[in-house]
Amino acid sequence: MKNNQEIITALNWRYATKGFDNSKKLSDSELNLLLDAVQLAPSSYGLQPYQIVVISNQEIKEKLKAAAYGQPQLADASHIFVFAITKNYTTQHVDDYAKNIAVTRTIDVIDIQGFVDTMKGTVNSRSQEELAIWNAKQAYIALGVLLETAAIADFDACPMEGFNNADFDEILGLEEKNLTSVVIAAVGFRSADDDYQHLAKVRKSKEDLFIHV
C-alpha cells in the first residue's frame, strides 16, 4: 500500500494522456484491478444507474476514434471505458437493486421496505431529464474512481467528453440496451513522445480552492 506521499506523487504523475503507446496493453490482472475498483465506486443509494462498456477490440476502437473527431487516444490506448447511463429509469430498477441487497445480505426485501420506498420516492419525483442528469453524476463518480486507481497503479488514463454520443451509442448497440453514453476514458500507457507528460500541473492554490469554516 502506498503511503501518503506516494499517493500524492502518483496523483501529480497522472495527467490527461494524449499520446498512448499502442504496443503496451493492460494485462488481465491489471484490467481486473480497474474493474474491481470501478465496481466498488460509490453512487447515490448504491443504485449504480449506469453500465460501463470496456473495449479492447481494435476494429471497434477505430470506429470510436472516428466518432471522437479522430482523437488518437481512442485507437492507441489499451482499453476504452464508455460510461453509459440508463435512459428510461424507473422504479423497476429500484426493485432489482432491492433484490440484490436481499440476496447479498441474506435478508428479506420487506426488511428494507422503508429504504426501498425512499428510493422510489426519489425516482418518482423526478422527470426522465432530471434522472438523466442525476445518473450521469453517478457515472462521473465512477470515472473519478477509475482515474485515481489508474494513477495509483501506474497506469495512464484520459477522461474525455469530446465524442459524438449518438454515434457511440450506435456503434456499441447501446440504444437496444436502454443506455446512452455520457463520458469515456482511455486507459493504457503513455508514449515517451507525449510532451504533455512533462508540463507542470496547474491548479488553484489551496487558499483559493478550499474554504474552511
pLDDT at site 167: 98
Average pLDDT over residues 176-193: 98
Q: What is the distance between the alpha carbons of residues 182 and 136, in angstroms, rounded to a whole number? A: 7
CA atoms within 13 A on the CB side of 35: 14
pLDDT at site 177: 97
Tens digits of residue pLDDT in 22-72: 999 999 999 999 999 999 999 999 999 999 999 999 999 999 999 999 999
Average pLDDT over residues 86-95: 97
Domains of the chain plus CATH, in order, are 15-209 (3.40.109.10)
pTM of the model: 0.97
Q: Work out the burial of residue 198: count CB atoms within 10 Å of its CB; fewer than 13 is exposed, 13-18 middle, 19 or more buried.
A: exposed
Nine cell digits for residue 192: 515517451
Q: Rounded to 5 degrees, what angle do the CA atoms 164, 166, 172 make?
A: 100
Q: Which amino acid is at 137?
A: K
The residues, ordered by sequence, that sit 6+ positions from 150 with a Cβ below 8 Å of its Cβ are: 14, 34, 156, 157, 187
Contact (CB, 8 A) for 63 and 171: yes
- Report the chain's mean pLDDT, rounded to a whole number: 98
